[in-house]
Amino acid sequence: MSYALSFAPEFFWGTVPLDELKPSNRPTSVCQALLSLPDDQWASLARDEFGVEPNALDLEMAINRVIETDPCRNLDTPVEVFIDQDGFHSVLVY
């Protein structure tokens, strides 16, 4: 079962400016979760879902895809947010 992403903008973008955002083992926003992906997962996401090389994918493109896709697996912490409709790519937000 999946749920719609009915969260505040801070859930997606966080409260820290992008240029100050650091990777985390317990990301508190979708943006930080994407930033925290290991290089191989970022590369897979870029190639599989966007058809681009990893350096051509930016956080804004990825977050916009999350918002368009819309579902998450659960509503309790950590929230598993799907990046693609099939749920092959996802991130956890604490």
Cα separation, 22 vs 30, in Å, equals 13
Is 36 inside any structural domain? yes
Is 15 inside any structural domain? no
How many independent structural domains does the chain possess? Answer: 1
Mean pLDDT by 10 residues, the chain (94 residues): 90 95 97 98 97 97 95 95 94 98
**The pTM of the whole model exceeds 0.85:** yes
Write out the residue range of the structural domain in which residue 65 sits. Answer: 26-93
Write down the pLDDT at residue 36.
98
Write down the pLDDT at residue 49.
95
Is 71 inside any structural domain? yes
Is 33 inside any structural domain? yes
Write down the pLDDT at residue 85.
87
Structure tokens at 55: 């350096």
Write down the pLDDT at residue 67.
94
Write down the pLDDT at residue 1.
75
